Structure 1
Amino acid sequence: MTGLAGKVAVVTGATRGCGRAIAVELGRAGATVYVTGRTTRQHTSPMGRSETIEETAELVDAVGGHGIPVRCDFSVVADVDALAARVESEVDGRIDVLVDDVWGGDPYTDFEHAYWDSPLDDALAMVRGGLETHLVALHRLLPFVVRSPGGLVVEVTDGEDDEYVGAGVPYYLVKSGVRALGRALGAELAKHDCTGLAVTPGFLRSEAMLDLFGVTEGNWRDAITDERPEFALSETPTYLGRGVVALATDPGVRRFAGSTLASWTLARTYGLTDVDGSRPDFGRYFAEVYRRGVDPATVDMATYR
């Protein structure tokens, strides 16, 4: 795939998870990718994870792209200004694809307690790290996107609609806010012949999730249990990465302006599969099983892959 040869992309939150996979897939399509995040080989972020932006950039290089690692804390405006200055000086201020995937809220999630019984400082930290950072990134980087027609801005969230399913008030606020940014950007960027939208993965088999369940990508099915049958429908971050590349290379992408598109929707639209050739459809499972109160033990999970 070379559909993005000569194009420049910036991916925020590209250290791991969807951000890393999106950066790699953009590189596979031929793009120069600014790989941004907080963890480097010399500096570990508060997330305490081992993955680094240098590793992501090397993965981009390995598939034929050009990865440029830039340490950037998007809660620090000076860091983002420094990133913008590099884009201006190194690629003449060109951004064809901007993927906004900053998160960092995992240490502050609390799905067990009522909002008023959980620490306020954690709630505020989640909002600052998961939503305010997006505003900072957009404020400083959108001027580069709108310089030329055809630019694409992708906000990465969790969930394809604003239904509250009990994930906690701060988490819901952040993820709904990111979807709202996708809707607003759809309208605002259309004025400049550019496209803004949001995307979401399903049950993501990220590095952190694999560690949480005590498995690796090689034996991830060992984590499927009677208490966690939905893990059979989990997807790799590459699944969404392939969807973002499909959007970035679609000459008709403007028809999706303002939408929130799920990985399974992108897979159906563009004929994509996950790395193992499957096509996980967590959205269909959620609608047909979870919402209807069907016992998962009675469901053939293969139907949704």
Structure 2
Amino acid sequence: MALVLIFAYISIVHSLNSPPPTKVAVVTGASRGIGKGISLELSREGYTTYITGQTMSGPLSLEQTASEAAEAGGGPVIPVQCDHNDDSQVASLFSRVLDDCGRLDLLVNNAFSLPSNFEEEGAQSLFNNFWELPNDAWDSVHGVGLRSHYVASKEAVPVMMRTRSLHKTTPKIFMISSFGGVSYTFNVAYGVAKCAVDRLAKDMAVELKPEGIATASLWPGVVMTENMKKTVESGDWDKFVGISLDDAETVSFTGKAVVALANDDDGIMTKTGSVQIVAELAEEYGFTDEGGKQPLSIRSLRFLIPNYAVKEPLPTWVKSLIPNFKLPLAVMANGNPNQ
């Protein structure tokens, strides 16, 4: 009896002194852009993060993302070359996560494919009328960017159910979407795909809520990704869009939003199935972008009036007087007031 009590005491002390088990995440499309920013922020939070993409080495690659995470001293970032058009590769990814870690706490569906003519035509390829675009403009964004999210989520859920059962946590699936899901943005194929991504999160929530798994669709604002920087440098941003970049976000800003939601086991179920705007999550959870910057929500009057209601740039002090009131999404669905 004494030995039993001693072993019980040792077990309790060991459990109290042991660090909590490392949480595990998968981020798709993480060799660059928003996916890279999310991966680095999860690493800083201590997650073991599996990242996918097709470029394994060199500039803007999975290995570069993993190397930057290692230099920062965060949780391990594990690069996995994966074509999200190939269901068997996606299935192998989640089998590996299960074999390696035995759990999966978070899936971020971020992978996105640009149309084939983007490299040649640049931003112009995004702003053509649908009848002027090649058919693969539809196939690209609905393949890797919608169907890929569905397949990855399908493969992730059984591992998440196991995680929920063993660790009593709330696994989460987040989609990276945009305002294009509610308001005309770029072109028809893009908008339909983003609308479907938002609906995917909403409908999956109905089936996953009884399993204790949460979903959400995240809307960043204007994000300074590598492709975005090229668009600005070429002059295409001013030519085709022209709005101010004062409130442009870094890729890490979305990463901080993902971390905030991922850590909110107590409140996430009140948000499951919903659209969450990154800039508004920053206000709710109290995080900022790099340098302490607080980007405005795209549906804020303080953002909309200077960019769409007046022709000349407004001084900063004038902008600060505009209410930070958020328009309902139903109003945003009416689109650009100047069109």
Tell me which interval the TM-score lies in, with the shorter structure as reference length.
Answer: 0.7 to 0.9
Which of 199, 205, 221 matches 1:186? 205
| CA–CA distance in structure 2, aligned partners of residues 260 and 95 of structure 1 | 22
CA contact (8 A) 2:41 2:259 kept: yes
CA 1:208 to 1:298, structure 2 compared with 1: closer, same or farther past 3 Å? closer
**Shift of residue 166, structure 1, vs aligned partner:** 4.3
CA 1:142 to 1:267, structure 2 compared with 1: closer, same or farther past 3 Å? same
CA 1:168 to 1:185, structure 2 compared with 1: closer, same or farther past 3 Å? same
Aligned to 2:83: 73
- The unaligned stretches of length 5 or more in structure 2 are 1-18, 119-124, 165-169, 325-339
| CA–CA distance in structure 1, aligned partners of residues 41 and 195 of structure 2 | 26
Which of 95, 98, 101 matches 2:110? 101
Verify: 1:235 aligned to 2:249, yes or no.
yes
Look up the equivalent residue of 1:80 and give its one-letter code.
V
TM-score normalised over the length of structure 1: 0.85
**Shift of residue 37, structure 1, vs aligned partner:** 1.1
**Shift of residue 63, structure 1, vs aligned partner:** 3.6
Deviates more, 1:268-277 or 1:82-91: 82-91
Which of 42, 48, 68 matches 1:26? 42
Verify: 1:244 aligned to 2:258, yes or no.
yes
| CA–CA distance in structure 2, aligned partners of residues 52 and 173 of structure 1 | 29
CA contact (8 A) 2:24 2:47 kept: yes
Deviates more, 1:126-135 or 1:295-304: 295-304
Aligned to 1:219: none
TM-score normalised over the length of structure 2: 0.77
**Shift of residue 187, structure 1, vs aligned partner:** 1.9
| CA–CA distance in structure 2, aligned partners of residues 132 and 108 of structure 1 | 21
Aligned to 1:122: 137
| CA–CA distance in structure 2, aligned partners of residues 162 and 68 of structure 1 | 31
Other structure's SS at 1:146 match: helix
More helix by share: 2
Aligned to 1:147: 162
Verify: 1:214 aligned to 2:229, yes or no.
no
* Aligned residue runs from structure 1 range 1-305, under 5 A: 6-41=22-57, 50-61=59-70, 62-92=72-102, 94-105=103-114, 107=116, 110-149=125-164, 150-159=170-179, 162-214=181-233, 228-250=242-264, 251-285=266-300, 289=304, 293-300=308-315, 303=320
CA 1:112 to 1:68, structure 2 compared with 1: closer, same or farther past 3 Å? closer
| CA–CA distance in structure 2, aligned partners of residues 30 and 154 of structure 1 | 18
| CA–CA distance in structure 2, aligned partners of residues 75 and 171 of structure 1 | 18
Identity of aligned residues (%): 29
CA contact (8 A) 1:108 1:123 kept: no
| CA–CA distance in structure 1, aligned partners of residues 271 and 188 of structure 2 | 28
**Shift of residue 15, structure 1, vs aligned partner:** 1.1
**Shift of residue 78, structure 1, vs aligned partner:** 1.6
CA contact (8 A) 1:14 1:53 kept: yes
CA 1:274 to 1:292, structure 2 compared with 1: closer, same or farther past 3 Å? closer
**Shift of residue 224, structure 1, vs aligned partner:** 8.6
| CA–CA distance in structure 2, aligned partners of residues 4 and 276 of structure 1 | 31
| CA–CA distance in structure 1, aligned partners of residues 306 and 177 of structure 2 | 21
**Shift of residue 243, structure 1, vs aligned partner:** 0.8
**Shift of residue 210, structure 1, vs aligned partner:** 1.4
**Shift of residue 134, structure 1, vs aligned partner:** 1.2
| CA–CA distance in structure 2, aligned partners of residues 287 and 107 of structure 1 | 36
| CA–CA distance in structure 2, aligned partners of residues 293 and 270 of structure 1 | 29
